A = this chain, B = another copy of it.
Amino acid sequence: MKLFFGEIHDNTAILSEEESHHFSKVLRGNEGDKIHVTDGKGNLAEIEITSISKKAVEGNILNLKTDFEKKNYYLHVAIAPTKTMERLEFFLEKATEIGIDEITFLQTFHSERKNIKLERIEKIVQAATKQSLKAYLPKVNDLTKFNDFIKTNFNDFTKCIAHCEDDIEKTPLRIVLSENPQKILILIGPEGDFSRDEILTAEENNFTGISLGQQRFRTETAALQAVFATDWELK
């Protein structure tokens, strides 16, 4: 099964410009070919190609699945980007494969990285979505200042901040997940952790301090652990 991004209408679907180019020029697809298209919002259509131009490949819908493999929870991870982009990119790919709905990049007190390449990151998330045949495309948000982010109103979310500060009480993630949250937001700090001030400010804003276990994890490993554990416990 080969999956493409595009718009899905009543009886037809149109691949995005980039995907149209990929289908016609790179894969040299033809009229009559059958492929799958998703809008990244849960719809998955099998289509038969009816017309091909450089900018728009179009087809008739043969069958349509809505809410395709919809998870029964919503996971938002906000992460301080790692110094090495490669590590962050690997996290994004794995998180997309395992199951994540929204990703925000945090600029924190100890962050070494002050910028990210959003376009490149979106491409990685899109590729992982297609490769793992998912019909939901995770939402990617740009770098946001920690203090602005935690003051955002996250209605209905169980809000957590993972940290390693010894003398601030933490709840094991396992306990948080056992309460079966429908929407969960987990903050993952940079190399060097969140600052004490950040942790306390988060708690003032109704975040629960959590621990991911006894091990010393790198940033991207901690984030992966959070994604994996949420999937394992809530799916």
Question: In the complex, A213→B228 CA distance in Å?
Answer: 12
A98 touching B232, Cβ below 8 Å: no
Which listed segment binds B: A55-63, A152-160, A198-206, A218-226?
A218-226
Tell yes or no: A132 within 8 A of B by CB.
Answer: yes
This chain: how many copies in the complex? 2
A97 touching B132, Cβ below 8 Å: no
Tell yes or no: A69 within 8 A of B by CB.
Answer: yes
CB distance from A210 to the nearest CB of B (A): 15
Residues of B within 8 A of A131 (CB): 218
Residues of B within 8 A of A224 (CB): 94, 224, 228
CB distance from A87 to the nearest CB of B (A): 8
Task: Pick the 10 closest A-B CB pairs, nearest first.
Answer: A228-B228, A97-B221, A90-B90, A132-B216, A133-B216, A94-B221, A97-B217, A232-B232, A229-B232, A132-B215
